[in-house]
Structures are given as structure tokens and as C-alpha cells.
Structure 1
């Protein structure tokens, strides 16, 4: 059921994903084909805000720290896994893999590689502060308009 907490959580975490993606894009090689990278990451931010942070709004401000960081982690994991899977499918269509086992293993290797690529102090700080602030603001609106 739509609530103000879900709406605000989706907007805030979608915005956090959009902004963080802007910080990540310069880390990729100059001619890397990113396609709809920013839009996909924003979608996962919306999903995390709607399904993880929004339903928990109203549990208190201490819990807001927790569910803000939980929404942040779920957003990052969903985006990393999806983007790694897309790269794997593109590479498998180019016949890069010898078999399906190698392709699945490579998804997890790309997951780790992409996570290490974005593990800069600026991006981690933005995500952590954004997750906590997003949780607190979601809590505020969830309490006031529920």
C-alpha cells in the first residue's frame, strides 16, 4: 500500500543512486559503453527506497539509521549484480566464455571488480551519509503523514 514513507524513501534513494552514479561514471574508461547505466541504478534506488526504507518508516529515528543503511546496501548490491549480469550477457553473445559455468563465475568477479572500482572515499562517504540522511528524512515524513 502506498504511504508517504514509501514515496519519500523511493524519491530519496532514487536521487542518491542518480547522484552517486554521476560520481562513478568518470571512473570508467573514457570510451566505455555505459548505455542506460544511470537510469538502471536510479531504478534500483527507487526500488530500495520503496521496499526497504519506506515500509519501516515510523519505527523511530534510531531505527532510521539502520533501515537507511539497509536500503543503501540493498540498492548497491542490486545495481552491482544487475550491471555485472548485463556485461556478462554482452560478453557471452560475443562468445567470450567456454561454458555457462565460466560466465556465472565471471558475474561475481565483475561484481567484485565494479565494487572495488567504486570504493573511493568520495563515493563511500556519499553513500553512507546519503543512506543515513535518507533514512532520517523517510522517518520524518513517515511519522508525520502516516
Structure 2
């Protein structure tokens, strides 16, 4: 059911995904084709905010901050998973795998590689602060427009 807290949480996490994507792009190897990287991450952010954060609004300030941090971590998880799947498909089209099991296992290798690249202090700080602010904004929207 659409509520104001779901909408605000979705928009906030989409904005957080945009900021994080812009911070991550210079960290990746030079010459990497990003394509719809930012757009896909923003859609993931909106969906995570709508489904996870928006439904948990209205439980208080501490719960709102925890809710925002949970939403930000889930955003990172799904972003890594989706981008790793895309990387696996890209490598599979270049015949880099001998079979489907090797291709599925490569998703985890690619995700681990991406995770080591994005674990820098600025990305971690942005994730934590942006997640907490997103949770507070969702809580404020729930209180204002019940």
C-alpha cells in the first residue's frame, strides 16, 4: 500500500544510490564502460527504500536510524549482486566460462572484487550518514502525513 513514508524512503535511497554511484565510478578501473550503472542503482535504491524502509517507519527515532542503516546496507548488497550478475553475463558473452556452474560462481568472485574496490572511507561514511538521514526522513514523513 503506497504511503508517504514509502515514497520518501524510496526517493532518499535513490538519491543515496546516485551519490554512491558517482563516488564509486572513479574508483573502478580506467576505461570501464558504466552504461546504465547509475540508473540501475537508483532503481534498486528506490525499490529497497519502498519495500524495506518505508514499511518499517513509525517506530521512533532510534528505530528510524537503524532502519536507514539497514536500508543502506541492503542497497549495497543488491547493487553488488546486480552489477556482479551483469559482469558475469558480460564475461559469459566473451566465452570466459566452461559451464554454467563456473559462471554462477564467478558472480561471487566479481562481487568480492567490487567490494574490495568500494570499501574506502568516503563510501562507507556516505553510506552510513546517507542511510541514517534517509531513515530519519522516512520517519518524519510517517509522522507528518499519516
TM-score, with structure 1 as normaliser? 0.97
> What residue number does 1:48 align with?
48
> What residue number does 2:113 align with?
113
> What residue number does 2:81 align with?
81
**1:106 CA displacement:** 0.8
| Unaligned stretches of 5+ residues in structure 2 | none
> What residue number does 1:128 align with?
128
> What residue number does 1:66 align with?
66
1:143 aligns with 2:143: yes
**Structure 1 CA distance for aligned equivalents of residues 61 and 144 of structure 2:** 13
Q: How many residues align?
A: 146
Map Cα deviations across residues 56-105 of structure 1 (whole Å, 9 max, x no partner).
11111111111111111111111100100011011111110011111111
**Structure 1 CA distance for aligned equivalents of residues 136 and 116 of structure 2:** 28
TM-score, with structure 2 as normaliser? 0.97
> What residue number does 2:100 align with?
100
**Structure 1 CA distance for aligned equivalents of residues 30 and 17 of structure 2:** 21
